[in-house]
Chains A and B, each alone.
Chain A
Amino acid sequence: MEIAADDPTDLLEEALAGHGEGFVELRFHRRRSRSIAVEKGRVDQARISEHTGVGVRVLADGTWGFASTDRLALDTVRRAVERARQAARAAAPGKDERVPELPPVELARGRFESDGYAELLARPLEESLQTVIALEARARGASSAITSAACGYNEIFEEKGVVTSDGAKAWSRLVRPEFRIHAVAQKDGEIQTGMESVGVTGSWDCLFRQATPESLTEKAAQQAVDLLRAGYPEGGRKRVILSPSLVGLLTHEAIGHTVEADFVLAGSCAAGKLGTQVASELVTMCDSGQSEYYDGAGGTLYVDDEGVPTGRTVLIENGILRSYLHDRESAARFEVAPTGNARAWEYHDEPLIRMRNTYIVPGAATLEEMIADIEDGYLLDGPANGQADSNGEFMFGTREAYRIQNGKLGPLLRGVNISGTAFDVMRTVDAVGREFKWDLGSGYCGKGQPAKVDAGGPWLSCQVIVGGRSA
């Protein structure tokens, strides 16, 4: 696709000329977002926001310095380089171990653009507003038990230019639209909520490829109403079938965070386990800047924020831990190639090791076979928030649960949080489904800074602790 002529990398390259000693990395970032939020007929948010600047990292005296400027001009960028250098030198006396020389790597050069960028930029916000207003009203009208509804649509247009003193010169443009619908149902003093959300890297059609906005709306409303009548699952260690969205959460929270190399170096439970069996042989897990299986995964990234091209990293292969996730510094410490996982949320943030699209490779089972194999357990669906711990203990929320008894699916129950210890749970995987789905594209990962990520996989059967109601 044709890219407009406001590529800033020539200017950044010029700013780098005669930059002085040491490694310098310049990252231009323009984020334009357009957001709409409607609740109970009222337009709460209809806004356009644009924030632009250049983040500068300098490696001086074996120490990183960071500064930023909100002006893209030669003099301001050069001044930011000097400020970052001063910050590095001021910090250097406090550093015990110098940053090692960054490993040579083929850095990205060129221009990259996601599908849908130009199309969504040209789509009038008014059209999206009318759609959101209609869908929110549709949710409220879905049942007399629905007392309130909210609907939101957000578009994030990202332009990034990365230029480094050792050869990166890349400009990329990505668009990430997101849609959310939320319904509240009430009866006899009980309140329950239903929610559906989708997010992709791509066009409007890509966003609603799996389900129309109308069907998502009806599903959220129905979920809120159905949960009014639903009971609570029993707590305890149970065999469960996780939906693709929950498999995404499992890969992200249980394994993904523990294999981020910065966390590994600090002593996470994945430290020292490369080459060892950490999961069932049925499990192969990857993190990728690309969107495998089909286009549009929400964490898609062509070039990371250090100028490293992104590819696919196999983390676990048939149960064996094969790799961690790296930026250039951690790759140097582990003496491996960087994996393209350095990401910064805004221009004034430093790049950190973050996931992109994380998933489990499909297996051979059908969902029906998996249900039939369970004597007493649950089928869980609908992702809520999650968190991982250094000792491998993870938790995440689910919005819906169905009891499985003697191979038969029972009625809907209210969602619960589930927990377990990462590799212990992965060793209990006894079936992996054959259908793949990206299903976490509206999610954000938090690690000091947000990051847009996606995750998914097939249906999967494993054993976890269900935080239900005890007697």
Chain B
Amino acid sequence: MSARAGDGALEGFDARAEEERLLARVAELCENARRDGADEAEAYGERVETIAVHFEKNDLKLGQVDEGTSVGLRVFREGKQGFSSTNQCDAEALRGTARDALTVAGFSVPDPHNRLLEPRPLDAPPCRVDPALAAMSVPEAVQHGREFLRRALARDPRISIDKASFSVHRDTRAVCSSTGARAVESDASAMAVLFGMAVDGEDVGGFDYWGDGVRDPARLDAMLEESIEHFARSVLGNLGARSAETYRGPVLFAPPAFVDVFVDPLISAASAIAVQRDRSALRGKLGKAIAAAAISIADDPRDAELRGATGFDREGQPARRLTIVERGVLEHFLYNGYAARVDGCDSTGHASGGARAVPGLGPHAVVVAPGSDGDRDALVKALGRGLFIQRFSGTVDPASGDFSGVAKSARWVENGEVVRSLKETLISGNAFELLHRVVALSSESPRVMGSVRAPFAIVDGISVTAG
């Protein structure tokens, strides 16, 4: 798993050497903490190397090269937790970080569940560092980015790119703990993002954005083309927007909107900490139907096509597929080490976050299973008449599930056909109630911005307010 860069401005990327260096740093941090009096210590490190080409106003703006390492240390002393982080990795800085974490632990509050987990065997990493991708140079990245922009602008003269970027990321992350956890992995990926709108004379359409990433360079060209097509269809369709109609009834959600309004609050409520602290609508609902029978949701960090694919979590525990909802029934909550100690069960490997904060709790790579109601066009036909929302710009209260916001890149459907773009259209409802009213799911579950998979969905009972 190593590669050398070509004529780029960054030094070459030798994944194995980076992994050894980072593991040595986090091990040193742990040792410092133990020597200074920590009962237990856990250090997490992340090294990031990035080559990026940024575009603005339809032209190249900036070439960027970056590299940096951050480490975070969590300590427990007499049941009290302390944390400190730094991006300065010399010996004195690491000693200072250990002192800071222990100082914080000194005045914190004891908690019997403040203990580290015992390590568990890890599976092989789900992702492979591709040498060609890891070795991409600045000129090569400029060439890919330039071609990306050229093709997007060539798609239609009305397209205006406010911002775009093409970037290559070479990342390494490592965990080491005094209980014996030692985990390290590297990743290399290329990402592309488009943000802009279509302008036709006086008509300025609403903006939209799309982005994706790949780890396999053989997929790069197709990913760029798909991103352009998705973006272009959306922003061109936003021209000529008019008002919708006010009604309460079925609405067709494109995958990004379905994720924002329904999937994200459900995952948030499935956090064991939210349940333990009485702020989850899913408390007491394990084994019960919480959604329509068509809905199945898992977290799958083994899905190498998703950005969050990983072999281990923020605490060094194995990251494995977990079924959260199966045919509408709530199967599992998500646990990190602390939540698992509170409930006296095993962690599900969902400690989340980076080096700058105490491990949190969250999913890696959410996958909503496809349904069986055909493709997007079939769902437009099934909707017959009403609102088709592609992006949601609003607020969802993760505790109550109440949502309210603007339907963006929205379309009006009449006689099973998209007939016009919409503006000033708001939707509202309650996500947890309306999950029972999912009446159709597409037979495909495409990737959304490279990070989750979700289908198109028709949900009944939505309040639609037209301006």
Residues on A lying within 8 angstroms of B by beta carbon are 35, 39-40, 42-53, 63-68, 70-71, 83-84, 86-88, 90-91, 93-97, 124-126, 129, 133, 147-148, 184, 186, 190-193, 232, 235-237, 262-263, 265-269, 348, 350, 384-385, 387, 389-393, 395, 397, 414-417, 419-421, 448, 465-471
Contact = CB atoms under 8 A, between A and B. Distances in A.
B455 interface: no
6 contacts: A47-B82, A83-B9, A91-B142, A236-B465, A415-B404, A448-B163
Contacts of B61: 64
Interface string B234-257: 000010010000111000000000
A263 B145 CA distance: 21
B122 interface: no
A236 B247 CA distance: 11
Given A237-B467, A390-B206, A397 B395 contact: yes
B63 A65 contact: yes
B310 interface: no
Nearest to B74: A47
B199 interface: yes
A149 to B, nearest CB: 9
A87 B9 contact: yes
B118 to A, nearest CB: 22
Contacts of A40: 277-278
B85 to A, nearest CB: 4
Contacts of B60: 63, 91, 94-96
Contacts of B88: 50, 52, 70-71
A420 B243 CA distance: 12
A416 B281 CA distance: 20
Given A148-B279, A267-B197, A468-B463, A387 B83 contact: no
B289 interface: no
Given A191-B399, A390-B162, A65 B356 contact: no
A373 B366 CA distance: 50
B93 to A, nearest CB: 9
B107 A86 contact: no
Interface stretch (B218-226, B322-330, B420-428): B420-428
B262 to A, nearest CB: 17
A263 B162 contact: yes
B83 A70 contact: no
A467 B85 contact: no
A391 to B, nearest CB: 5
Nearest 7 CB-CB pairings of A with B? A467-B426, A235-B465, A91-B63, A87-B63, A266-B162, A397-B395, A147-B278
B81 A43 contact: yes
Contact of A148 (B57, B59, B278, B467): B278
A267 to B, nearest CB: 5
Contacts of A68: 66, 68
A47 B103 CA distance: 10
Contacts of B85: 47-51
Nearest to A65: B63
B465 A465 contact: yes
Contacts of B404: 397, 415-417, 467-468
B397 interface: yes
B326 to A, nearest CB: 24
Contact of B83 (A45, A53, A71, A415): A45
B395 A49 contact: no
A236 B137 CA distance: 54
Contacts of A415: 404
Given A97-B59, A191-B281, A70 B87 contact: yes
Contacts, number: 265
A193 B357 contact: no
B139 interface: yes
A455 B218 CA distance: 47
A67 B64 CA distance: 6
B173 interface: no
A369 B205 CA distance: 38
B65 interface: yes
B182 interface: no
Given A87-B63, A190-B400, A397-B394, A391 B205 contact: yes
A71 B205 CA distance: 45
A395 B66 contact: no
Given A266-B160, A390-B197, A417-B405, A49 B84 contact: yes
B66 A348 contact: yes
Contacts of A387: 393, 406
A266 B161 contact: yes
A147 to B, nearest CB: 4
A348 B146 CA distance: 23
A467 B428 contact: yes
A236 B467 CA distance: 6
A267 B100 CA distance: 49
A88 B63 contact: yes
Interface in B35-75: 53-54, 56-66, 68-70, 72
Contacts of A91: 53, 60, 62-63, 138, 142
Contacts of A50: 85-88
Nearest to A234: B465
Contact of B279 (A83, A191, A395): A191
B62 A389 contact: no
B358 A390 contact: no
A53 B87 CA distance: 9
B385 to A, nearest CB: 16
Contacts of B65: 66-67, 83-84, 86-87
A450 B21 CA distance: 31
B358 A44 contact: yes
B108 interface: yes
B464 interface: yes
B143 interface: yes
A385 B358 contact: no
A385 B66 CA distance: 31
B160 A45 contact: no
A86 B64 CA distance: 10
B248 A465 contact: no
A470 B138 CA distance: 53
Interface in B160-187: 160-163
Given A124-B107, A129-B109, A469-B463, 13 more contacts: A43-B111, A46-B108, A49-B84, A50-B85, A66-B64, A68-B68, A93-B142, A186-B278, A389-B393, A417-B405, A419-B426, A420-B424, A470-B246
B382 interface: no
B204 A419 contact: no
Contacts of A235: 246, 426, 428, 463, 465
B104 interface: yes
A39 B401 CA distance: 20
A112 B100 CA distance: 28
B215 interface: no
Contacts of A90: 9, 63, 137-139, 142
A115 to B, nearest CB: 26
Contacts of B108: 43, 46, 129
